[in-house]
Structure formats: structure tokens, C-alpha cells
Structure 1
Amino acid sequence: MLHQDLPALLTPERLRSYTARCPDLTSAIRLYEWNMRAAAAVLELTGIVEVVARNSLDRELGVWAARRGAPTWFDAVHLDQQGRLDLDKARARASRNGRRPEIHGRVKREVRARMQQLHFVRNRAAHHEPIHQRDLRRDLDDALELLGWIHPVAAEWAADTTSLRAVLDARPSD
């Protein structure tokens, strides 16, 4: 049962995309609740992608740098001025609070197309924004394909682990 104070607590602005899509407030709240579950599943999946991609990239760059006689890939890669600034910023973030600055897991590099879309949907999910209008099945497929490019075991593991498919199947009708 929908409590009468709930819409005011969530605010009309936050509920706008749900009420615009649903025939009544109860349906809009159900879609909002589903959006919360979808956001949690997106965070779960994108977390897998981020860790696997970052660690794989770091490992491959480390092998590449070692073949060139560099102690780390940070020392072997040729960056333009913006790339150097980005790397310096990442190193500073990684060394905050007395942490060692050369921990590779803390320095992220970008794998464009798929990663940008996954980053976008992750941010929307993390900030409790509506993602109910996105093609989350495409996002799931993109994430699994990206992981498959890295290693088939990563894609299989993510496919078996993610709850996103079940959440998508449980979506309430608008």
C-alpha cells in the first residue's frame, strides 16, 4: 500500500520521469522501486567490468613496458600534455592519505566506446537517477562482450554472477 507522504518525501521532481510513463502513482512508485533494483544490479555488473578491465590493462601494459626495459608502464608510455596531466592527477589521487602512489590498480586508463557507455550508466545508477528508460539489456550485452574481449572466463563469470538479467525480467509494466 502506498503511503500518502511518500511522493512528497521522494519529491515530484524525482518522480517526474516515472509519473510521466505510468498511468497512476502506484505504478510510478513500483517503477521507481524497480529502478532502484536495476541500479544496484548495474553497479554490480559495472564493478566487475571496471576491475577486470583495469587489472587486465595494467597487466598487459606492464608486460609491454618490461619488454622495453622500463620499471613500470607509467615510465614507458609516451603521453601528450593532457595525458601526462591525467596521469599526474591519478597518481595524486592514488597517493592520498599516505598510500603508495604506484599501485597500478588505483590508476585507471580508458577503454573508450563500451567503457564510456558503461561509465555513464554506472554514474546514473550510483546517483539514484532514472535508468528505467535506457536499454539496459544492451548495456548488459555490451558489458559481457567487453569482458569477453578481455577473457572468456570473465564474461562467463559476469554472466553467471550478475543479477541484472533477473531484474530486467522482473520489470513492472508501465
Structure 2
Amino acid sequence: MNRREQISVEAILLRRLSPPRLAPYLDAAGSLQGAVRLYRWNVELSGAVYEALHIFEVVLRNALDEQLCVWNAGQINPVTGMSHASDWLLDPSILLERIVGRDLPEARNRAGHSTRARPKDWRDPLHADILAALSLGTWRFLLPGRKDLGKQLLWDEGLHHAFPHLRRPVHELERAVDGVYRLRNRVAHLEPLINSSIAAQLANMRTVIGAIDQDLLSWFASVEKIGATLKVRPKP
């Protein structure tokens, strides 16, 4: 591509991506050519973050779900006088209903839409369907980083078992999950990451995954692409 063609492509990108969209990249790079390079790098970084989030979110939710099933089965329903089912998504205890009750109907509804293509007798959402329909915000909200005696009780009686290798106070774990949650929202809304603390959020991902499973942390470190992408950020 010669210089004239390059200028033409950059002009097209400026128009189609819009000046407001490219403004942060222009501020950081100092030139339209540099801004386009930085924008492309931001797209690559967003992809690397999203790949890592696929692992992070699934690992976190499965670890918490396993302990929630055990804990919920040990709770007594005050109406029936009997124990709740282990399926906390379909038969949540009073405490879980209070903490995440607003998320459950929406998750069940989303799960119902996703199971419509199944045979008629299998359309009712299963535990795994509803679990997959919950957001990272739900898992963040379950952790006792704030002054909530119910969340602290849930942590003390059940959820701490999900993090057998945790060597930090639980409020630091909650802050780590919250930081990754906020990064996820930026990526989901296609926002610039060039001024975000991506390295710190990668460290948070490692902290949480390592607290769950050290062997899994080793695998995660070998496959995530965030660190390598950060090293090749274009220079102004």
C-alpha cells in the first residue's frame, strides 16, 4: 500500500469510525496514522481480554455454584419445615432469595428462550441452563466485600470452600472480581482500553483463579494472550 492509499484508508476510517470514536486514540498517538494503529491494537487487546474472560467467568461461577448447591441443601424452608433442594436456582433459601433473588427470574427467562429449540418434553430450563444465563455481576454480588451480615454468613458457612487456596482477606477477593467485572463491561460496550489498568485486571484474574485451583492457574497463564498483547502496544 503506497502513501496515498494509506492516507485514503485512514480518511475512510476517520469518517466511518467517527471523529469522537477515534478522539482518545488521536490524543494518545498524536497523529491519525498512529491513532489507527492504536485502534487496531485496542481491538486485539479487547479480543485477548474476552478470551480470558471466557475462562475466568466460567471457572468462578462453577466454583461458587458447587458450594451454593451444598449450602442450600442444608437450609430449612420455614414454610414446609423441610430442607431446601440442592438446586438453589430453582429452590433458593430465604438468604439467597434476598441476595440474588432479582437476578433469578431474568436468568430463568433467558434460559427459557435458549431452550425453545429442544423437544417439547425437554424445554423446561435445567440448572445448567439457568446457571449459564446468570451474569458475572451476580457472582461478584455474592461475595462479602461490603457490610452485609447475610453475605458474610454465606461466605463463612459455604462460599469460602470455593477458594481453598485464598491467602488474602475476602474483601480483596471481592475487589479483584469487581475489577474484572468492570473491565468486562468496558469490553462488552466496545470502549477504549488504552488508558485502563489491564495489567492489574490480569493480575486480578490470576488471583481469583489461583485461589480456586493452582493447577488451573498454571494452564490459564499458558494460554491467556493479554500479557503478550500488552507488550506490543504501538508507540506514538
**TM-score over 0.5 for the alignment?**
yes
Q: Which moved more, 1:104-113 or 1:164-173?
A: 104-113
Aligned to 1:136: 198
Cα 1:144–1:82 change in 2 (3 A) is: closer
Paired residues of 1:52 and 1:154 also in contact (CA < 8 A)? no
Look up the equivalent residue of 2:41 and give its one-letter code. Answer: W
Paired residues of 1:30 and 1:172 also in contact (CA < 8 A)? yes
Runs of 5+ in structure 2 lacking a partner?
A: 1-5, 76-82, 117-122, 141-173
The residue matched to 1:20 in structure 2 has which SS? Answer: helix
Whole-Å Cα distance in 1 between the matches of residues 208 and 214 of structure 2? 10
Paired residues of 1:91 and 1:102 also in contact (CA < 8 A)? no
Whole-Å Cα distance in 1 between the matches of residues 40 and 233 of structure 2? 10
Aligned to 1:70: 84
Whole-Å Cα distance in 1 between the matches of residues 99 and 191 of structure 2? 30
* Structure 2 residue 125 is the aligned partner of structure 1 residue 101: yes
Cα 1:61–1:81 change in 2 (3 A) is: closer
Whole-Å Cα distance in 2 between the matches of residues 80 and 103 of structure 1? 16
Aligned to 1:160: 222
Instruction: Choose 1 or 2 for highest CA Rg.
Output: 2
Look up the equivalent residue of 1:172 and give its one-letter code. Answer: P
Look up the equivalent residue of 1:140 and give its one-letter code. Answer: L
Paired residues of 1:94 and 1:107 also in contact (CA < 8 A)? yes
Q: CA RMSD in A?
A: 2.0
Runs of 4+ deviating beyond 4 Å: none
Whole-Å Cα distance in 1 between the matches of residues 12 and 176 of structure 2? 40
Whole-Å Cα distance in 2 between the matches of residues 126 and 148 of structure 1? 25
Aligned to 1:88: 105
Runs of 5+ in structure 1 lacking a partner?
A: none
The residue matched to 2:102 in structure 1 has which SS? Answer: helix
* Structure 2 residue 52 is the aligned partner of structure 1 residue 45: yes
The residue matched to 1:95 in structure 2 has which SS? Answer: helix
> What do the CA deviations read for 1:78-124 (whole angstroms, capped 9, x no partner)?
24557322222222222224343332432533224322321221222
Work out which structure has the larger RCO, using CA pairs closer than 8 Å and 6 or more positions apart in sequence.
1
Whole-Å Cα distance in 2 between the matches of residues 107 and 62 of structure 1? 17
Look up the equivalent residue of 2:110 and give its one-letter code. Answer: R
Identity of aligned residues (%): 32
How many residues were matched structurally?
Answer: 174
Cα 1:107–1:58 change in 2 (3 A) is: farther
Q: Which moved more, 1:78-87 or 1:123-132?
A: 78-87
